[in-house]
Amino acid sequence: MKLVRFGRAGQEKPGLLHADGRIRDLSKVVKDIDPTTIGQLSKLKSVKIDKLPVVKGRPRLGPPVARSSKFIAIGLNYSDHAAETNSPIPKEPIIFTKATTSICGPNDNVIQPKGSIKLDWEVELAFVIGRTARYVAEKDALRYVAGYMVCNDVSERHFQAERGGQWTKGKSADTFGPIGPWLVTPDEIKDPQNLAMFLDVNGERMQTGNTATMIFGVATILSYVSQFMTLLPGDLVTTGTPPGVGLGKKPPIFLKPGDVMRLGIAGLGEQQQKVVAYKGK
């Protein structure tokens, strides 16, 4: 299944992408796609999709899962990306967090925050936790995955590397976590470690990669993170990016207002975001 949430920000309804490309309204079947329902998605298989109301037009797509308690990220998880940033290959997964307030829809604008001078892109495979995970063995880890989706781990490199402390401050601004367009259940993804991925900026290909070159795969990451914290239903984990980020270009290239990012992963759909300047005080 490909699950979506559609509608205005903060007022999204649950939906399902039918094989005909149209969204079907699930709001009379489940209240939302969130921590209270994420572990029950298998029940949707018995729903007669053809009987569900068709959503008219092309509504805004919101984050495909709501109210996640945590947004965990893995850094430097592709050896060639580590090389382009002049970083050593990690011996263990590097864990950092993105604020849940950074989460937005897959096609929402990305806002360049106040003081930002090095805004960057990162196409990533993300997964959603389906049931409470604590000290999970690697061999069992994929059974805890509710689904997969595309994530753009938008980053402000000046905040991340030159403002002291840890990476979180460069990863957590509003709109720095576009996810979706869909939450794709594991039955549709034969192998999460063999998915082609790409990212373009203003029509120019910047990133081309495949999850096959991840240093630590999904099962390893889920198991590893669960040794340090309890992962709850609806929690998000994004797994690192292949080479081609702006920081790694020679000379570096960073995003500016008006730039457009388009990114996608095989089987998981595509996103598109326009960069806009922060307009508040």
Sign of CA dihedral 82, 79, 65, 2: positive
Whole-structure pTM value: 0.96
Mean pLDDT, rounded, for 118-123 = 98
Is pLDDT at 281 greater than 80 in this prediction? no
Is pLDDT above 80 for 7? Answer: yes
Beta bridge mates, 199 = 207, 263
Would you state the pLDDT for residue 32? 96
Residue 170 CA to residue 32 CA, distance in Å, equals 30
Contact 172, 149 (CB under 8 A): no
Structure tokens given for 274: 């326009």
Residues 68, 5: Cα–Cα separation, whole Å:
14
H helices of the chain, in order, are: 79-84, 157-162, 218-225
How far is it, in rounded angstroms, from Cα 255 to Cα 166?
A: 22
For 220-270, the pLDDT digits (tens) are 999 999 999 999 999 999 999 999 999 999 999 999 999 999 999 999 999
Whole-number pLDDT of residue 83: 81
Q: 154 pLDDT exceeds 80?
A: yes
CA distance 29 to 47: 8
Q: What's the CA gap between 112 and 109, in Å, rounded?
A: 9
Portion of the chain with pLDDT greater than 70, in percent: 100
Angle ∠(236,57,6) on CA atoms, nearest 5: 20
Q: For the residues 132-138, what does the mean pLDDT come to? A: 98
Cα–Cα distance, 19 to 244 (Å, whole number):
33
Q: Tell me the DSSP string of 75-125.
A: ES-BHHHHHHTT-PPPSS-EEEE--GGGEE-TTSPEEEPTT---EE--EEE
Q: Which helix (H) or strand (E) holds 275?
A: strand 269-277
Residue 170 is given by DSSP the state: G
Q: How far apart are CA 40 and CA 228, in angstroms?
A: 26
pLDDT of residue 43: 79
Task: Report the candidate in 160, 153, 85, 144 with the shortest Cα–Cα distance to residue 125.
Answer: 153
SS3 5: strand
Distances (CA, A) of 71 to 5, 244, 254: 18, 23, 24
